[in-house]
């Protein structure tokens, strides 16, 4: 809402002549002036100011808007946010502090508010798609990671099941095979193939 009155002096670090408005206020014409919040600043010189200890911030803003000579307002009590302090005419000796400072609401033309709102919209137009894109990318990465992890777990489980199945098959195969005996063992067990140990006889010979 403001620019140096003499830019050449500002480049030489001479700020004595201050700033001027980029757009004139339009209070009398009902142009819808508004306020821009300046945080952490030294309040302007109070020689051309007015205060009321019983008002709150909202009432202070309304009071300032009703007076076309009002150029800024602030809370009278910083700690509680109560009271009203209003400035008229030029704002003298106002500067930004690195620490502390106070919030001052500076009156600007409606066109300046529109410009600020458009700038904020442009920022949102840029920020929102970027945030959405990052969110989608993160979701996709998480989805792929979970799918790969699940696939790995399923593969390990399948390997364990296969190993268990093979072990069971081997056990059953071993159990189903007939035991093998040496000839001497069989001869001794049947008393040298004695008829007394003979159980019967089939197509393949006697059974002991």
- Residue 42 counted as domain residue: yes
CATH number at residue 52: 3.50.4.10
What's the pTM value of the predicted model, to 2 decimals?
0.50
59: confidence class by pLDDT, cuts 50, 70, 90: very high
Model confidence at 203: pLDDT above 70: no
- If residue 2 lies in a helix (H) or strand (E), which one and from where to where? strand 2-4
Distance CA 69, CA 79 (A): 27
- Residue 84 counted as domain residue: yes
pLDDT at 83: 92
Distance CA 35, CA 41 (A): 15
Show the tokens assigned to 45.
């010189």
Q: Which of 8-17, 75-84, 123-132 has the highest mean pLDDT?
A: 75-84
CA nearest neighbour of 85 among 60, 121, 120, 118: 60
- Residue 133 counted as domain residue: no
Residue with token string 């033309």:
109
pLDDT at 54: 92
pLDDT at 30: 55
Distance CA 4, CA 18 (A): 6
- Residue 139 counted as domain residue: no
Domain that holds residue 6: 2-108
What total of structural domains would you count in the chain?
1
């Amino acid at each position: 809402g403001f620019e140096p009155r003499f830019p050449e002096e500002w480049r030489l670090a001479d700020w004595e002549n201050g700033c001027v408005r980029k757009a004139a206020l339009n209070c009398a014409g009902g142009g819808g002036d508004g306020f821009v919040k300046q945080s952490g600043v030294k309040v302007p010189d109070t020689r051309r100011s007015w205060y009321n200890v019983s008002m709150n911030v909202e009432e202070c803003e309304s009071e300032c808007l009703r007076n076309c000579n009002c150029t800024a307002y602030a809370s009278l009590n910083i700690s509680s946010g109560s009271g009203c302090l209003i400035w008229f005419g030029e704002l003298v000796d106002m500067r930004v502090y690195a620490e502390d400072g106070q919030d001052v609401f500076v009156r600007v033309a409606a066109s300046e508010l529109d410009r600020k709102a458009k700038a904020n919209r442009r920022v949102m137009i840029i920020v929102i798609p970027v945030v959405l894109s990052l969110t989608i990318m993160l979701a996709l990465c998480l989805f792929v990671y979970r799918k790969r992890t699940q696939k790995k777990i399923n593969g390990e489980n399948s390997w364990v099941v296969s190993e268990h199945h093979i072990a069971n098959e081997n056990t059953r195969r071993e159990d189903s095979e007939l035991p093998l005996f040496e000839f001497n063992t069989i001869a001794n067990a049947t008393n040298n193939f004695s008829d007394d140990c003979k159980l019967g006889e089939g197509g393949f010979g006697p059974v002991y």
